[in-house]
Structure 1
Amino acid sequence: MTNNRYPGFGVLLVDDEAPFLRSLSIALERQGINHLYRCTDSREVMATIAREPIGLVLLDLTMPHLSGEELLARIKEEHPDIGAIIISGLNQLETAVNCIRLGAYDYFVKTMEEDRLIGGIRRAIQAQEMRQENQEMRRRFLTDTLEKPEAFADIVTQDKTMRSVFQYLEAIAVSRQPVLICGESGVGKELIARAIHRLGDAQGPMVSVNVAGLDDNVFADTLFGHHRGAFTGADRARAGMIEQAAGGTLFLDEIGDLSQASQVKLLRLLQEGEYYPLGSDRPKRLRARIVVATHQDLARKQQDGGFRKDLYYRLRIHQVEIPPLRRRKGDLPLLLAHFLAEAAEELGKSVPTLPRELPVLLANYEFPGNVRELRALVFDAMSRHRSHMLSMEVFRQALGQDNPTLVPQDEPEQPLFSQLDTLPTLQQAGELLVAEAMRRAQGNQSLAARLLGISQPALSKRLKKNTGED
């Protein structure tokens, strides 16, 4: 199967010297680049491209029958989306410039250091991956489709922003680059990580590690493992989480709390694609995709010196922001029904009837704990439920509706009337406030009164006065 081959597209090596092809293949496979095709006859190149899923071609410049330049021109004419690198036995500046003009990604001389050549191929692969991902994103957003909706089955939502996140994740599913998931606590970042794991058709497992509070030694031992005798008490070898996640996904949660020393180790792992178990001088290859998550603002943290800039830019190659629940209030009815059914099944009870005011009450709460908080509230209410109708009082107490939170916590406060040229009168302001409370409460006077901090009779009196009733 090709699921364990990297990159997702094929890399075609073309050279009439078979020994060079073999040595280059071995060097690439040693670096984890193993989705390779080899061709020693330049006349077979175009047929191979038509037959196999080729995304990058490495062309020898001087070959019998067809030269690298001729093949480059044909490839760019017939398959413009395929990347190409020229590898020559001679350092010819004029030829190199012409190849770049024809569309080659880069030009290398065979005699140069192997590390430079491999590094150039890696950069070309990454550039090709980004191009394919951008094309896929444009296609998905234009068609508004999801090809693998089952990957997101655990995420209850009908929100358009969340759907855009799903489309983006599908577009980057074939990439091996890390993914940074941002969002407040409780929005479901681990569910997103599991969706990424499913989308990649990984053969290995998803392994989750919460790195908050891990000191440097524990972090290294947890991720890299150790050999027997690596430190006092290491009486036997232990595989690290990276090795356990081979062929799958390694999910690092709360990455914003990682110490500076551990950040250096993670950066090297991402850059080199290899690591050393404690007590070993032989490196192991990284064979898992890295997905990280944080509730912190990493951009601000790296500006303040709390997070390494190079690691931040390495992690944010693919980044998604999960919106808080207060920005997806349309999901509240779905989530409420989902958690009620879940709680009823777990507690062995029937799903109760909902008070008509409950959705309105929830819609006027900001949920600082997001989806996790809503789930906890529903389970708490269900554990106390005794009658046919679910009690509203449980939610009123939990949500503190005597002192409701109406302003999103992540939005800066602005003077309420700063955009008005003239101030409303006290009477006009009162009428506007009452009207807004009734709108938010969807006509429920009891709830509107709580939002305003007055009694229900007092609100009723104001409403009658505003409408001119006696």
Structure 2
Amino acid sequence: MTGVLTHDFPILLIDDEPSWLRSLGLLLERAGFTNLRKLSDGRKVRDILADEEIGIVLLDLMMPDIPGEELISVIREESPDTVIVVVSGMNQVSLAVQCMKMGANDYIVKTGAEERIVATVRNAVNLWELKRENRAIRSTISKAPSNPEAFSHIATANRYMISIFSYIESLASSRQPVLITGESGTGKELVARAIHRVCNPPGPMVAVNVAGLDDTIFSDTLFGHVRGAFTGADARRAGMVEKASGGTLFLDEIGDLSAPSQVKLLRLLQDGDYYPVGSDHSEKINARVVCSTHQDLTIKGKESKERRFRKDLFYRLQTHHIHMPPLRERKDDIPVLLDTFLAMAAEETGKKIPVYPPELPVLLATYHFPGNIRELKSMVFDAVARHGGGTLSMASFKEAMEGHAPHHPAAQAVSRQTDGNPFSGLDPLPTLADASSLLVMEAMDRAEGNQSIAARILGISQPALSKRMKQLREKQDE
């Protein structure tokens, strides 16, 4: 992240040894962190947390006035978003595990830990700055649209999504159809509902998924039928077009429409009238039509050639076109969506909203989310259902991501340009050792220093990565 303001980041150091507090403060100040608070009496931590927002706490466990384990609980209770790092002189695995279960984000042994302390604080700064930016952007969003309530059901801090909101408001007065495209799970129906809310028509929004409907069922569903239209038609039935009168008719997955159904939809959009099944008298449509599809309907698109989607219908539909980006292209929304779905899952399960480890958004950012926002929501709900207390475990997220390679758009772009070989055209070629070192450094950079996440990016075990990093350090020291 660029533009990190380390002097704005509030850091609280807690230790009863003045010499250690002094040396730790000097270490962080040399690294650029100047907004430090020092505390030798842990009993005063509640007062400090009440007075100001603390981004990270570095504390010792061996405190004379209050046990460090109790301090962890106090901090987690008073300030759920604060990163807690235990810096202890005791190198005990069982103690570290206990602290993590109680809500600590990391456990560092004091001896020779200067570099790790600085790296941990720097990672916490990055996360804190990202959250602050997201809060600022979301605040801007709430003021930018003239009708913010229409978009309140869409959780985002992404600038492209903000532009979509502005576009929706600009076309509110138009009666022309709207085409929403995007992969499955990107929130196309949410945008359709936002269009309906912005237009604020007197009638309802009626949604119909037309995927898999043959022409007969499509006609009956949309246009209804008159009495005696077919065997069993004992009474007149209104179609969805009539039910949406004065409101919005949302047709989901129109890319699957059969050729005869496409003709009828085109006539509906062009002429504004339709015939109920079995009727000789036309009816007029009095609803705004919004359509969506996950397929590529462009003239050069694969679906246009294979499914023969009518060009004239496509041109008619795309009078107003909104494309929903996949989650992998709006990674800045992951923390926002994470907070939103955690709150929803906690309310549904009757649990308190859990605090998640700061490295969780970093881990999720390495995943390509084939199911997009819908998949992230499922992950979060499953994690909360399994959650038993303390910091939210990342185990269920890793389990859900298992078997899917991390997503690297830049690498994929290179592969497409070079027939699958990113080294094609390089002269001279890097040595195997150099290429391995560069991969390790890039993975660690993308994982923001987290070895577990970097190992997953590289497709190797964490011990294997640690070994490679050790070899890399030894080589640099030569």
Scaled by the length of structure 1, the TM-score of the pair is: 0.67
Shift of the alpha carbon at 1:459? 1.9
CA–CA separation in structure 2 for the residues paired with 1:303 and 1:404: 31
| Conservation of the 8 A alpha-carbon contact between 1:212 and 1:255 | yes
Partner of 1:356: 358
| Conservation of the 8 A alpha-carbon contact between 2:406 and 2:457 | no
CA–CA separation in structure 2 for the residues paired with 1:304 and 1:369: 24
Q: Say yes or no: does 1:395 pair with 2:394.
A: no
CA–CA separation in structure 2 for the residues paired with 1:146 and 1:332: 22
Question: 1:45-89: CA deviations, max 9, x gaps?
Answer: xxxxxxxxxxxxxxxxxxxxxxxxxxxxxxxxxxxxxxxxxxxxx
Partner of 2:446: 440
Ranges in structure 2 where 5+ consecutive residues have no aligned partner: 1-142
Partner of 2:429: 423
| Conservation of the 8 A alpha-carbon contact between 1:159 and 1:330 | yes
CA–CA separation in structure 2 for the residues paired with 1:161 and 1:419: 35
CA–CA separation in structure 2 for the residues paired with 1:223 and 1:366: 37
Match of 1:365 among 357, 364, 367: 367
What letter is aligned with 1:186? G
Partner of 1:317: 319
Shift of the alpha carbon at 1:273? 0.3
| Conservation of the 8 A alpha-carbon contact between 2:272 and 2:284 | yes
Question: 1:415-441: CA deviations, max 9, x gaps?
Answer: 312463432121211111001110121
Partner of 2:148: 149
CA–CA separation in structure 2 for the residues paired with 1:360 and 1:462: 22
What letter is aligned with 1:413? R
| Conservation of the 8 A alpha-carbon contact between 2:179 and 2:322 | yes
- SS of equivalent residue, structure 2 residue 291: strand
Question: 1:225-257: CA deviations, max 9, x gaps?
Answer: 111111111111111100100010000000000
Partner of 2:405: 404
- SS of equivalent residue, structure 2 residue 173: coil
- SS of equivalent residue, structure 1 residue 413: helix
- SS of equivalent residue, structure 2 residue 245: coil
Partner of 1:121: none
Partner of 2:209: 210
CA–CA separation in structure 2 for the residues paired with 1:304 and 1:410: 26
CA–CA separation in structure 1 for the residues paired with 2:314 and 2:380: 37
Partner of 2:338: 336
Question: 1:305-348: CA deviations, max 9, x gaps?
Answer: 52011111110111111000000000000000100000000111
Q: How does 1:33-72 map to 2 (within 5 A)?
A: none
CA–CA separation in structure 2 for the residues paired with 1:305 and 1:441: 42
CA–CA separation in structure 2 for the residues paired with 1:310 and 1:359: 44
Partner of 2:96: none
Shift of the alpha carbon at 1:283? 1.1
Question: 1:200-224: CA deviations, max 9, x gaps?
Answer: 1211000000000001011001100
Shift of the alpha carbon at 1:406? 2.2
Identity %, equivalent residues: 61
CA–CA separation in structure 2 for the residues paired with 1:266 and 1:406: 38
CA–CA separation in structure 2 for the residues paired with 1:469 and 1:328: 40
CA–CA separation in structure 2 for the residues paired with 1:325 and 1:455: 27
CA–CA separation in structure 1 for the residues paired with 2:320 and 2:335: 31
- SS of equivalent residue, structure 1 residue 359: helix
- More deviation, 184-193/438-447: 438-447
Scaled by the length of structure 2, the TM-score of the pair is: 0.65
Shift of the alpha carbon at 1:304? 4.3
CA–CA separation in structure 2 for the residues paired with 1:247 and 1:157: 30
CA–CA separation in structure 2 for the residues paired with 1:416 and 1:160: 31
| Conservation of the 8 A alpha-carbon contact between 2:342 and 2:384 | yes
Distance 1:280 1:374, change over 3 A: same
CA–CA separation in structure 2 for the residues paired with 1:426 and 1:196: 54
CA–CA separation in structure 1 for the residues paired with 2:211 and 2:412: 23
Distance 1:469 1:463, change over 3 A: farther
- SS of equivalent residue, structure 2 residue 309: coil
CA–CA separation in structure 2 for the residues paired with 1:422 and 1:453: 26
| Conservation of the 8 A alpha-carbon contact between 1:353 and 1:390 | yes
Partner of 1:413: 416
Shift of the alpha carbon at 1:302? 2.7
CA–CA separation in structure 2 for the residues paired with 1:410 and 1:423: 20
| Conservation of the 8 A alpha-carbon contact between 1:326 and 1:367 | yes
Shift of the alpha carbon at 1:199? 1.2
CA–CA separation in structure 2 for the residues paired with 1:199 and 1:373: 27
CA–CA separation in structure 2 for the residues paired with 1:329 and 1:371: 11
Partner of 2:388: 386
- SS of equivalent residue, structure 2 residue 229: coil
Partner of 2:459: 453
Partner of 1:293: 292
Partner of 1:98: none
- SS of equivalent residue, structure 1 residue 250: strand
Shift of the alpha carbon at 1:465? 2.8
Partner of 1:141: none
Number of paired residues?
Answer: 326
Question: 1:75-107: CA deviations, max 9, x gaps?
Answer: xxxxxxxxxxxxxxxxxxxxxxxxxxxxxxxxx
| Conservation of the 8 A alpha-carbon contact between 1:302 and 1:312 | no
Shift of the alpha carbon at 1:469? 4.8
Ranges in structure 1 where 5+ consecutive residues have no aligned partner: 1-143
| Conservation of the 8 A alpha-carbon contact between 1:227 and 1:236 | yes
Q: CA RMSD in A?
A: 1.9
Question: 1:131-150: CA deviations, max 9, x gaps?
Answer: xxxxxxxxxxxxx9432222
CA–CA separation in structure 2 for the residues paired with 1:295 and 1:437: 32
Shift of the alpha carbon at 1:383? 1.2
CA–CA separation in structure 1 for the residues paired with 2:235 and 2:412: 49
What letter is aligned with 1:349? K
Q: How does 1:197-276 map to 2 (within 5 A)?
A: 197-276=196-275
CA–CA separation in structure 2 for the residues paired with 1:403 and 1:172: 39
CA–CA separation in structure 2 for the residues paired with 1:154 and 1:403: 30
| Conservation of the 8 A alpha-carbon contact between 1:254 and 1:293 | yes
CA–CA separation in structure 1 for the residues paired with 2:155 and 2:264: 36
